[in-house]
Structure formats: structure tokens, C-alpha cells
């Protein structure tokens, strides 16, 4: 007789919803396989199971829905017969069974009918398999053990012809009644509030191996089983029994040990510090429930924060507290969907035991149906079903989240962490590597298989001399209508080099080249290299104070400059060569007898330094030769004589490409000179002239291509470098060529690794938001390491270290810093690796992806900026006592610098900005400022950079008298400016550059005005007319002339 409707328990309701969301998936099939190695009386076995089924409410449950509400009812009779199948006559009975099981375990249950599938299979006379599948709605792991024990007990009684064959099984309705009754008690209300608060904590689920939420939810999963063996299992029990680790029971202590290892492992493969792991509570607190068959389990989160310097023991201590909290507050009926959203990893320590069946040797296997809850990406089950002393680990992994290759190594990664815990509980959790031997070989050796023999390993200057002999009449450098042949270029460089030699310039000497981009700049670079000396490019728009520091720091013996700069007071004890009046004819034109040393420094590039002063990176000839030869092979495969523009600032190391690459290939350098003190927008001239076929630029430059029509462009190769290259920008660049064949590359490299050291070819339409930085170039090696210099797995964030021929020799005059950043290579003896402090990961394709920085260094428009350098200079301003500088990103992804400071008195922003402009390059001067009474501090007593950046910034515009727009054009311009700059009510007399304007902002303003007014305006006019009033006057006159 059927029972009256019974409401589902809270945990059953969650399963019901899960099944409804995946109606065609067997995600809740709970399959056990029992191999019984002895003779079985089939009829007695079937009878024993029948008695258990008739006395178990859960086995008689069927489910239905009424008005959207699910219910269960007891059928009142055995809903399904037990089957018997004989495979003993098959040629290979086990193989036959395995094929049968593979299909059988996927069968879906009709929830309105029988929810179990019980089959006894004969393999041979001494081997039977009991296949028993139940829907999770009517069972859990504890129930499985209870049911197995009851069937075994009854079988024994039937076999022995006992008079009494009754069985005692706790009614499931007692549990549902208990759960319903407890919900009205005050203790329940208190615990409900506790878990409600827990639901607010650690709401971000884990991105394991940096795998984000999959594109589609899938229940498909794969189980990987690992047996820990007797020795390791014994060591784990010994560890769990140690003083300070052992708690009330051995099982609870082992639970904490495994959970600690899991938290340590998850931290290492996600990089996330605070997160939750779901874990089940068996809910059998009352003795009456110990023999109850059914689904009583509920899952709750255990949350913890893993600290970077945690040892296994320190983490364990906090896990113990978390476990105690968990046990203290769990109560039937408190789990809910909101709590479940807090985790995607499940840990299940199963301490139930399956005895031998009627004394016959039996093995138990939990068969995975190939599906699981799609919200559980990663499940770890620990069990020893037969109390053998050997733990088995079941790793159930979502196939949509983890690919096949990753699934193979995940168990090994966890076990490596577990072994480290066993080995030394006091060691830091990051100390030991997690990689498998195969992965280690792949990441250290295979990914770095870059050894390449350069055909001509002499210094580049020698190779350029050979090119001049080979093509003396070819054009080497062109600037507007002026050009130099290779012979003319080489002759002039030789003459200037002889002048330098007469000043005792040679190997070890430093010569500053303080010139605009020009043929003379190229001549000077070659001349210095011919002497064996080192050249130092110094941009002409640097403030005098910075130039003076560079010259003094480098101890430059000679400065080559223009006439207009030759009388500056910055030169002390330095020879000056005025290139504009230099008498080339006074010196011979033949090649010098000097043979530059391949190991000597070719050039010094000064980059931002956190101490308040820039630092000189020493690039050796061998590194430069290796890099330029690689660029020739990687990029210049379409022609032997490339046309390449020289248009980037000379203080940017990529400018070396524009000088050496064309000259090595017999091509032509096209010079685009900077125009006075205006913001450099030479890129627009490069695009409009359409004379080059190769261009290397920053993402900021790339924005100038966006929206252009380049279908007739000669450009065949675009190399983007210097900052994060967004896929969206790559698509815009590709689309600008309108089908015209073009190859686009992303090149990465700090100055310390000679311009570029990894690269990746851009693929249009990629799903990734950023273009990867790729793989190492010739003779360079890339290592992604953790804090202990251990290689990290695929997908896991680590710090990038570089080694190989491209490494700089260090920082000039900064031996301590050099030793800190260029350290002994743990993977290759007698070599160094450079610590970039860039965060990267190896993706599934085995290429590097850039993820950010470990420090306060940023890149803006391709320039490397140490925020600490700006901060130290601001702190020297009278009255300022504290300061932080941040790189802020607007809604368009554009970065700008903001300075937040406290001072004794009000600071006039225009004076502060003028002070900074005298000490820093324009790209390092903040565009926004905020004076605070005091800067907010974080819990560790440091300035809270995230919090401080939320304050609205002011600019020097705020000190300019506000004058409102007076006509429609001024209103249009003001509206556009206020959209682009993080400012409100910009005065019409505010200066574009002073409020933070740069070439990218100019481009956006110019584009919007042209679109709205339908006229064409030269981009440089915004710098010529830098206020809203003057720019509006210019536009009005242009419109009148057009009409």
C-alpha cells in the first residue's frame, strides 16, 4: 500500500533540481560493483536482497511533482526485481561484463518508478559480481555500506536455514520528520544565521589551472583512481597520530590532513588565497539513523585563507579550527543553493567499510557513471572500503573544465603536495615542486628548445660593413627628400668614428647620442660601435635634470648632439661633438682596424628605476646580434630589402630594430623626425606616407591604425610590443588592411633581455582577450616559476624568468641590483636567469600569456615606468609627507597616472606638475592629483593603493578659472574632452597637455570631431591649438574656408 506524500528533505530537493536541470544525464547514478570470489547460491542472494528492499522505505521510493512541488512516496512493495545474468559461458567473461557495465551505468532512472538496478552476474563458479546502481535521491555512501551489510547478513541466515530472517532498517520517514521538527527549534534558527553569513564569504569560486567558467555547462566527467599504497598510507596515519595533529579520532585527524593537503594544492594551482571547499556531513547524529538507508547527506562549505608563507602545519592548525566550526554548526536542512555557489571543489572523506560478503573475499568498487554535478569541477574522494590499510583517491574531473592532458597530471600534482606534507610538516607549502617528471622535462627542455647557430656571429657593425661593400649604391637611410647610400653612410660613420678614436674613445667608453631621429643619429650609432665603445641614446625631449643624471651616471666621455643643444649647461667634463657642424672631410672614410668585442656592451638603455633615478641596462653585442638575426628570420621573409620606419623615441629600445634590422638586410631606414616639444605622433606620417613594409609599434600606436583603410598599404608585417596587446586591437588592425595580406605579431621583452625575447603570431577572431606573448626566440629560454623557483604547471600563474644569449650583462654601476635580478640559473649550470617580475602562465597550446606584475612597475604607451621613481620625486617636493602613484585604467582600457599625496599645507597642482616636468619625462608626469588629509592604510600598515585610487582625481585644470563654452563648436569639443578625461567642467582655456593629453587622446578627439562635423583635420593641430577656445577657432576657420 502506497504511503501518503512525503516532502523531500532539503538535500534531496537540491538533487531533484540538479536532475531537472540535466534530465538526460545520469549524473546521480550511484553504482557499486562488488566482486565476490566464491560460490553463491543465486536464489538465496536474490531473496536476501528482496527482504532488504521490502523493509527499506528508501528502496521503495518513487518521486512525482504536483503543482511544481516535488514529493516522494513509498510504493508499499518491492518496485523492481533483482536480475541474474550468466557470463560464464562467454570466451572472456570479464571483458563481456566490462562492456555491459559501461553501457548499463549510463541508463537513466525514471523517477516515478524503480530507482535502483540490482543485477547479480556470474563470471565463473568462484567469481560473481553484484552490480548495484541507485539514484542518489535514495542513497549515499553510508547507506551503501548498510545495505551491503544487511544483504550479507540475510544471505548467511538463509544459507544456514535460520528460523529468524528478519532485518532491522531505520525508517527514512523518521529522518524527514526529525529534519522538519528541528526547523522550528531556536538552535536551528541560530545555525541558519551562521550559514547565511558563511554564504557571504569567499563567494569567488576557484579558477583551477586558471580555467575560468567553461563556455557551456556540462555534466560529463572522468574519474581517475590512485592507490596510495601501504607505505604512504601508513605514513599518513602516523602523521595524523602525531601530537598537535591528532584530534578526537584518527578518521577526523586524517580528514584534516587530507583537507590541508587539498587546500595547499588548490592554492598552488589557482593562485587564489581565499576560497571554500564543499564537504559532506553524513547527518547521522542520532543512533536511530545509523541503520537508516537513504540520502541523508548534506554538503556545506569549509572556507579558509591560505597565506603565502604558510607551512603545512600552520595551515593545518587553521583547517582544524574550520573543521570544528563545520562540525559544530552542521544540522539537517541547512544546505541551500546559495551555499553551494561558494565552491566548485568537493572533498569527501569516506570512512564507511564494506566487509566480506558472508565471509567470502570481496572487493568493492565505486563505479563512476561518467557524469556529475556540473557545478563541481573537481571532486576528491578518499576511501578504504575494506579497511586494508591502503587509501584510494578518486579524482572526479569535469571534462569541460580540464582537458585530457591536464586530467592525467592532476592526481600526480596533488600527491606531490601530499608527499611534501608527509616528508616535512614544517616546510612551507610552496617549497616542493608539484610537476610530474614529464611536465618538468617539457617546460624546462622542450619549450626551451631554441638553440640556434647564428650564421655570422660577429658584431652587427662588422656585418653592416660587409653589407655596405655588397650594395654600396643601395639607399640605406632616407629622410624626406634626402638620402644616403650604404657607401655614404658607412663612410660618414667611419669618419665620425675616427674623430671619436682621437678622443680616446674605445671599448669601455660611453658616448651619449643626444640627437633627434635623423640620418645623423644612424651615423652616430654606427660610428660609436665601430670604435668598440658603447652608445647611450638620450631623447631630446627629456628634462635637463634627467639628461644630466644619465650623463653623470654613465660617465659619458663624449656627447654627440645638435647645434641647438650644444651650449647646454648639462655637460660637465664631457667632449661635445656638434653633428650639425661636424667636418667629416677632416677624417678618413675607410673602415677602422678596430674589431669590436662580441662580449662588450653595445648600448646602454636607461629605464625607470624605483629609487627615484633611472638605471642603465647594459646590452652586449652578442645579445644584440642574436636578437637582430632572429628578427630577420622571423619577420623579413617577404623581401631581402625591407623598408622600415625610424619613428619611435630613441630612448625606447625597440628603436634599435629600426636602425639595425634594415641595415643587416640591405634595406632602407625611413626617418620620421620628432617635431619640437609636441607630443610625438610620427606614426600618422608613417601610415600616410605608405613607404614602409615593416612596422614595429606599441598598442598605443596601433590605435592610430584602428579605423583606417589600409587596403593599399605596402605594410606586410606589423609587430606590436611594449604593452598588453588586446585581441580586439589586433582584430581592428587586421580589418584595417581589408584583405591585404599582413602578418601581425606580438613581441614581448624587457630591456634586460635585449628588446624582445618571446613572440606570437596573432590569429584574427581569437576568443582570448589578450594576444599571448608566445614562445622564446633564438637562444633564449623562458621559465615560469613560483617563489621557490619551482616550475609551475600549465595554466598556473608564475613569475617569468629568462635566460640565454639575449640577457643584458646587468645594470651599470649597480652591482647589488644586478645580483638581485640576474641570479644563478637552477636549470643550467654556469648561466644566469633574469627575474622579470612579470606574471605569466603557459596556456594549453604551450605558449606564454602575460597576466600582470608582481610589483609597482607599469607600462603606459610602451614606456616602462617604476611608480616608485615618481613617488620618490614627489616626496622631495616641499611640504609633501606621503605619496603613492597609481596607474588607473578608464572604461576604454587606457592607462593614466594618478598621484595621491598628503601635505602640511595646500599644494598648488600647477606648481607640482611644473616641478615634476623638470625632473621626469613627459610620459612619467601624472595627469591627475588628489591631496588628502592622510592616505588610507591597509591592515598591514601600508598605503591601501586600491582604496586610494577610488578618490576622484583633479588636474591643473581645476586651478584654471572656469570659462564655459560660448558656441556650438566649443560645446562639442568640451563634451568630447570631458568624455575622454576623468574630469568635469573643463575650462575652455585649460591646456590639453597639462590636463593629461597625449597622442592617443588626441586621436580620439580628432576622430570624434571629424565624424560629427564631417571634415578632415590634421591630428597635430590639437597640439598647435591646445585649448578648447583656440582649437574651436581653428576649426571654425577651417569650416569657413571649406565652404
441-455 residue pLDDT tens: 999 999 999 999 988
In a domain, 701, yes or no: no
Q: How confident is the model at residue 1008 (pLDDT cuts 50, 70, 90)?
A: confident
Same domain, residue pair 998 and 937: no
Question: What confidence tier does 1 reach under pLDDT thresholds 50, 70, 90?
Answer: low
Tell whether 920 and 966 lie within a shared domain: no
Residue 844 has pLDDT above 80, yes or no: yes
Phi, psi at 547, each rounded to 5°? -60, -45
**What would the mean pLDDT of 231-247 be, rounded to a whole number?**
93
653 class by beta-carbon count within 10 Å (0-12 exposed, 13-18 middle, 19+ buried): buried
pLDDT at 802: 97
pLDDT tens-digit map of 566-609: 877 787 788 999 999 999 999 999 999 999 999 999 999 999 87
Which of helix, strand or coil describes residue 243? coil
What average pLDDT does range 606-619 have in this prediction?
88
Neighbours of 231 (CB within 10 A): 9
pLDDT at 156 over 90: yes
Confidence of residue 79 (pLDDT cuts 50, 70, 90): confident
Across the range 154-173, mean pLDDT stands at 88
Query: Are residue 945 and residue 994 in the same domain, yes or no?
Result: no
Residue 957 binned pLDDT confidence (cut-offs 50, 70, 90): low
Complete edge-to-edge strand list for the sheet that includes strand 880-889: 880-889, 895-903, 928-931
Nine cell digits for residue 864: 616602462
**For residues 558 and 578, is the Cβ–Cβ distance under 8 A?**
no
**pLDDT tens digits for 402-430?**
989 899 999 999 999 999 999 999 999 99
In which band, very low, low, confident or very high, does the pLDDT at 940 lie, cut at 50, 70 and 90? low
> Comparing 47-51, 334-338, 791-795, 966-970, which segment has the lowest mean pLDDT?
334-338
pLDDT band for position 387 (50/70/90)? Answer: confident
The CATH number of whichever domain residue 55 belongs to comes to 3.30.559.10
Q: In 3-state terms, what secondary structure has residue 329?
A: helix
Identify whether residues 393 and 244 lie together within a single domain.
yes
How large a percentage of the chain has pLDDT more than 70?
A: 96
* Secondary structure letter of residue 1023 according to DSSP: H
Residue closest to 678 by CA, chosen among 922, 925, 865: 922
Q: At what angle do helices 229-240 and 404-423 cross, to 10 degrees?
A: 50
How many CA within 13 A on the CB side of residue 587? Answer: 21
Q: What is the DSSP letter of 962?
A: P
CATH code for the domain in which residue 417 is found: 3.30.559.30
**Per-residue model confidence (pLDDT) at position 678:** 59
pLDDT score of 579: 96
Measured distance CA(925)–CA(495) in Å, rounded? 40
192 located within any domain: no
Q: Count CB neighbours of 951 within 10 A.
A: 15
Q: Which residues contact 11 (CB under 8 A, 6 or more apart)?
A: 283, 295, 296, 297, 298, 299, 332, 335
Q: Which residue do the cell numbers 591536464 mark?
A: 406
The values of phi and psi at residue 770, to 5°, are -120, 145
Same domain, 33 and 126: yes
Among 390-394, 454-458, 569-573, top mean pLDDT goes to: 390-394
Contact between 342 and 276 (Cβ < 8 Å): yes
Q: Which residues pair with 72 in a beta bridge?
A: 6, 63
- Each residue's pLDDT tens digit, 242-301: 998 998 899 999 999 999 999 999 999 988 888 889 999 888 888 888 889 999 999 988
Q: How far is CA 516 from CA 243, 313, 920, in A?
A: 73, 61, 19
- DSSP 8-state secondary structure symbol assigned to residue 961: P
The total number of residues written for the chain in this structure: 1043
**Is residue 800 included in any domain, yes or no?**
no
Between 254 and 183, name the one with better pLDDT: 254
- pLDDT, tens digit (0-9, with 9 covering 90-100), for 969-985: 888 888 888 777 766 67
The domain of 890 spans 856-954
Handedness of CA 32, 38, 39, 44 (dihedral sign): negative
Residue 155 has which C-alpha cell? 544471505
In a domain, 1004, yes or no: yes
Q: Which residue has the higher pLDDT, 284 or 658?
A: 658
CA 171 to chain centre: 52
- Out of 293-302, 354-363, 776-785, 1011-1020, pick the least confident: 1011-1020
Looking at residues 657-676, what average pLDDT do you find?
93
Residue 710 falls inside a structural domain? no
Distances (CA, A) of 484 to 40, 474, 476: 99, 8, 6
Chain segment 491-538, per-residue pLDDT in tens: 999 999 999 999 999 999 999 999 999 999 999 999 999 999 999 999
Half-sphere exposure of 312 (CA within 13 A, CB side): 25
Q: What is the pLDDT of residues 712-751, one digit of tens each?
A: 999 999 999 988 898 988 999 999 999 899 999 999 999 9
3-state secondary structure 263-306: HHHHHHHHCCCEEEEEEEECCCCCHHHCCECCCCCEEEEEEEEC
Give the pLDDT confidence score for residue 669 in this predicted structure: 97
C-alpha cell at 144: 551503501
Q: Which residues contact 632 (CB under 8 A, 6 or more apart)?
A: 661, 664, 665
- Please identify, among 432, 467, 484, the residue that sits at the C-terminal boundary of a domain: 432
> Are the CB atoms for 340 and 299 separated by under 8 Å?
yes
Is the pLDDT confidence value at 947 over 90? no
Q: Over the range 412-440, which residues count as b (16 or more CB within 10 Å of their CB) and which as e? A: bbbbbbbebbbeebeebbbebbbbbeebe
Q: Which residues contact 567 (CB under 8 A, 6 or more apart)?
A: none
Q: What is the pLDDT of residue 76?
A: 72
807 inside domain: no
Rounded to whole angstroms, the Cα distance separating 947 from 951 reads 8
Q: What pLDDT does residue 5 have?
A: 87
What DSSP element (H or E) covers 132? strand 127-135
**Last residue in a domain, options 390, 413, 432:** 432
Do residues 322 and 221 both lie within one domain? Answer: yes
The yes-or-no verdict on residue 665 having pLDDT over 90 is yes
- CATH number, domain at 982? 1.10.1200.10
Q: Are 438 and 406 in contact (CB under 8 A)?
A: no
Give 699's pLDDT tier (boundaries 50, 70, 90).
confident
Pairing of strands 482-485, 743-748: unpaired
Q: What value does the mean pLDDT take over residues 224-239?
A: 95
Same domain for 983 and 862? no
Helix segments in 128-185, DSSP class H: 141-159, 172-182
Residue 63 within a domain: yes
Separation of alpha carbons 681 and 1003, rounded Å: 9
pLDDT bucket at 956, cuts 50 / 70 / 90:
low
Considering the domain architecture, whether residues 149 and 72 belong to the same structural domain is answered as yes
Q: Of all residues in the chain, what percent carry a pLDDT higher than 90? A: 56
Say if residue 231 is in the same domain as residue 155: no
Report if residue 464 sits inside a domain: no
Average pLDDT taken over every residue of the chain: 89
**Residue 272: per-residue pLDDT:** 85
Give me the number of domains the chain comprises.
4
Q: Where are the alpha helices (DSSP H) in 509-596?
A: 519-530, 544-554
Rounded Cα gap, residues 528 and 511, in angstroms: 7
143 in the same domain as 29: yes
CATH of the domain at 904: 3.30.300.30
Are residues 146 and 13 located together in one domain of the fold?
A: yes
> Of 385, 406, 432, which residue constitutes the final position of a domain?
432
Q: Do residues 336 and 392 share a domain? A: yes
Strands 743-748 and 717-721: parallel
Interatomic CA distance for residues 904 and 365, integer angstroms: 74
Q: Say how many C-beta atoms besides its own lie within 10 A of residue 328's C-beta.
A: 10
Amino acid at each position: 500500500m502506497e504511503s501518503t506524500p512525503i516532502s523531500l528533505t532539503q538535500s534531496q530537493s537540491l538533487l531533484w533540481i540538479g536532475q531537472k536541470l540535466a534530465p538526460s544525464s545520469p549524473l546521480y547514478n550511484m553504482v557499486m560493483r562488488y566482486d565476490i570470489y566464491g560460490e553463491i547460491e543465486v536464489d538465496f542472494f536474490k531473496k536476501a536482497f528482496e527482504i532488504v528492499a521490502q523493509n527499506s522505505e528508501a528502496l521503495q521510493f518513487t518521486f512525482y511533482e504536483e503543482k511544481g512541488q516535488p514529493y516522494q512516496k513509498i510504493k508499499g512493495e518491492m518496485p523492481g526485481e533483482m536480475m541474474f545474468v550468466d557470463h560464464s559461458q562467454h570466451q572472456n567473461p570479464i571483458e563481456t561484463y566490462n562492456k555491459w557495465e559501461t553501457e548499463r551505468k549510463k541508463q537513466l532512472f525514471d523517477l516515478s518508478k524503480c530507482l535502483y538496478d540490482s543485477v547479480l552476474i556470474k563470471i565463473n563458479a568462484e567469481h560473481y559480481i553484484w552490480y548495484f546502481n541507485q539514484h542518489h535521491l535514495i542513497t549515499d555512501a553510508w547507506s551503501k555500506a548498510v545495505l551491503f551489510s544487511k544483504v550479507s547478513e540475510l544471505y548467511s541466515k538463509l544459507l544456514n536455514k535460520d528460523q529468524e530472517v528478519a532485518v532491522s532498517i531505520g525508517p527514512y520517514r523518521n529522518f524527514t520528520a526529525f529534519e522538519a521538527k528541528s526547523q522550528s527549534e531556536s538552535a536551528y534558527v541560530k545555525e541558519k544565521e551562521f550559514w547565511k553569513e558563511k554564504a557571504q564569504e569567499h563567494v569567488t569560486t576557484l579558477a583551477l589551472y586558471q580555467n575560468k567558467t567553461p563556455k557551456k555547462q556540462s555534466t560529463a566527467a572522468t574519474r581517475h583512481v590512485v592507490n596510495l599504497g601501504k607505505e604512504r598510507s601508513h605514513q599518513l596515519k602516523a602523521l595524523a597520530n602525531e601530537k598537535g595533529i591528532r584530534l578526537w579520532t584518527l578518521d577526523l585527524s586524517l580528514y584534516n590532513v587530507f583537507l590541508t593537503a587539498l587546500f595547499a594544492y588548490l592554492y598552488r594551482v589557482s593562485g587564489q588565497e581565499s576560497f571554500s571547499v564543499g564537504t559532506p556531513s553524513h547527518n547521522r547524529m542520532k543512533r536511530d539513523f545509523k541503520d537508516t538507508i537513504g540520502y541523508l547527506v548534506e554538503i556545506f562549505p569549509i572556507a579558509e585563507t591560505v597565506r603565502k608563507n604558510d607551512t603545512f602545519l600552520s595551515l593545518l592548525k587553521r583547517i582544524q579550527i574550520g573543521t570544528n566550526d563545520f562540525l559544530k554548526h552542521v544540522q539537517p536542512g541547512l544546505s541551500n543553493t546559495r551555499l553551494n555557489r561558494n565552491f566548485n571543489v568537493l572533498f569527501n572523506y569516506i570512512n564507511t567499510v564494506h566487509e566480506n560478503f558472508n565471509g567470502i573475499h570481496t572487493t568493492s568498487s565505486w563505479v563512476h557513471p561518467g557524469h556529475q554535478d556540473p557545478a563541481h569541477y573537481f571532486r576528491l574522494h578518499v576511501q578504504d572500503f575494506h579497511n586494508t590499510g591502503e587509501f584510494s583517491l578518486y579524482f572526479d574531473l569535469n571534462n569541460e573544465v580540464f582537458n585530457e592532458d591536464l586530467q592525467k597530471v592532476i592526481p600526480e600534482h596533488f600527491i606531490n603536495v601530499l608527499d611534501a606534507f608527509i616528508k616535512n610538516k614544517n616546510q612551507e607549502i610552496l617549497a616542493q615542486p608539484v610537476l610530474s617528471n614529464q611536465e618538468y622535462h617539457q617546460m624546462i627542455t622542450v619549450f626551451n628548445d631554441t638553440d640556434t647557430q647564428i650564421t655570422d656571429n660577429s658584431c652587427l657593425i662588422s656585418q653592416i660593413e660587409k653589407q655596405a661593400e655588397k650594395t654600396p649604391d643601395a639607399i640605406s637611410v632616407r629622410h624626406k627628400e634626402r638620402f644616403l647610400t650604404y657607401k655614404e653612410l658607412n663612410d660618414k660613420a667611419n669618419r665620425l668614428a675616427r674623430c671619436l678614436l682621437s678622443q680616446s674613445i674605445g671599448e669601455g667608453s660611453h658616448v651619449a647620442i643626444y640627437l633627434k631621429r635623423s640620418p645623423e643619429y644612424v651615423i652616430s650609432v654606427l660610428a660609436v660601435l665601430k670604435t668598440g665603445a658603447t652608445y647611450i641614446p638620450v631623447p631630446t625631449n627629456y628634462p635637463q635634470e634627467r639628461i644630466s643624471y644619465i650623463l653623470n651616471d654613465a660617465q659619458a666621455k663624449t656627447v654627440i648632439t645638435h647645434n641647438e643643444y650644444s651650449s647646454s649647461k648639462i655637460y660637465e667634463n664631457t667632449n661635445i661633438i656638434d653633428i650639425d657642424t661636424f667636418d667629416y672631410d677632416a677624417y678618413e672614410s675607410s673602415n677602422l682596424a678596430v674589431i669590436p668585442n662580441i662580449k662588450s656592451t653595445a648600448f646602454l638603455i636607461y629605464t625607470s628605476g624605483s629609487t627615484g633615478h633611472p638605471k642603465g641596462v647594459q646590452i652586449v653585442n652578442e645579445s644584440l646580434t642574436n636578437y637582430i638575426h632572429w628578427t630577420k628570420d622571423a619577420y623579413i621573409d617577404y623581401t631581402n630589402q625591407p623598408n622600415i620606419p625610424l619613428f619611435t623615441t630613441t630612448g625606447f629600445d625597440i628603436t634599435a630594430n629600426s636602425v639595425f634590422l634594415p641595415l643587416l638586410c640591405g634595406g632602407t631606414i625611413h626617418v620620421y623626425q620628432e617635431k619640437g616639444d609636441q607630443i610625438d605622433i610620427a606614426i600618422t606620417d608613417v601610415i600616410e606616407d605608405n613607404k614602409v613594409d615593416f612596422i614595429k609599434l606599441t598598442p598605443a600606436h596601433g590605435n592610430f591604425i584602428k579605423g583606417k583603410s589600409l587596403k593599399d598599404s605596402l605594410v606586410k608585417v606589423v609587430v606590436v610590443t611594449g604593452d598588453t596587446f588586446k585581441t580586439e586591437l589586433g582584430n581592428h588592425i587586421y580589418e584595417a588592411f581589408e584583405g591585404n595580406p599582413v602578418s601581425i605579431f606580438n613581441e614581448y621583452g624587457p630591456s634586460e633581455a635585449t628588446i624582445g625575447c618571446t613572440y606570437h603570431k596573432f590569429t584574427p577572431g581569437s576568443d582570448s582577450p589578450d594576444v599571448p606573448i608566445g614562445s622564446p626566440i633564438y637562444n633564449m629560454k623562458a621559465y615560469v616559476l613560483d617563489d621557490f623557483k619551482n616550475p609551475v604547471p600549465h595554466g598556473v600563474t608564475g613569475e617569468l624568468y629568462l635566460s640565454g644569449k639575449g640577457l643584458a650583462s646587468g645594470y651599470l654601476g649597480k652591482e647589488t641590483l644586478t645580483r638581485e635580478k640576474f641570479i644563478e640559473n637552477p636549470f643550467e649550470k654556469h648561466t644566469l636567469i633574469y627575474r622579470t617580475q612579470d606574471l605569466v602562465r603557459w596556456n594549453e597550446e604551450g605558449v606564454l600569456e602575460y597576466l600582470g606584475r608582481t610589483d609597482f612597475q607599469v607600462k603606459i604607451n610602451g614606456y616602462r615606468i617604476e611608480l616608485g621613481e615618481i613617488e620618490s620625486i614627489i616626496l622631495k617636493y616641499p611640504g609633501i609627507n606621503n605619496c603613492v602613484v597609481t596607474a588607473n585604467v578608464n572604461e576604454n582600457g587606457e592607462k593614466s597616472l594618478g598621484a595621491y599625496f598628503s601635505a602640511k599645507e595646500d599644494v598648488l597642482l600647477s606648481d607640482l606638475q611644473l616641478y615634476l616636468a623638470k625632473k621626469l619625462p613627459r610620459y612619467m608626469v601624472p595627469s591627475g592629483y588628489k591631496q588628502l588629509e592622510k592616505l588610507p592604510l591597509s591592515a598591514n600598515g601600508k598605503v591601501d593603493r586600491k582604496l586610494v585610487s577610488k578618490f576622484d582625481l583633479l588636474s591643473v585644470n581645476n586651478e584654471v578659472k572656469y570659462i564655459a563654452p560660448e558656441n556650438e563648436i566649443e560645446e562639442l569639443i568640451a563634451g568630447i574632452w570631458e568624455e575622454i578625461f576623468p574630469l568635469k567642467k573643463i575650462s575652455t582655456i585649460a591646456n590639453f597637455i597639462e590636463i593629461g593629453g597625449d597622442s592617443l587622446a588626441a586621436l580620439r578627439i580628432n576622430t570624434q570631431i571629424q565624424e560629427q562635423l564631417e571634415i578632415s583635420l590634421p591630428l597635430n593641430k590639437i597640439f598647435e591649438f591646445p585649448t578648447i577656445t583656440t582649437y574651436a577657432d581653428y576649426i571654425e576657420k577651417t569650416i569657413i574656408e571649406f565652404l
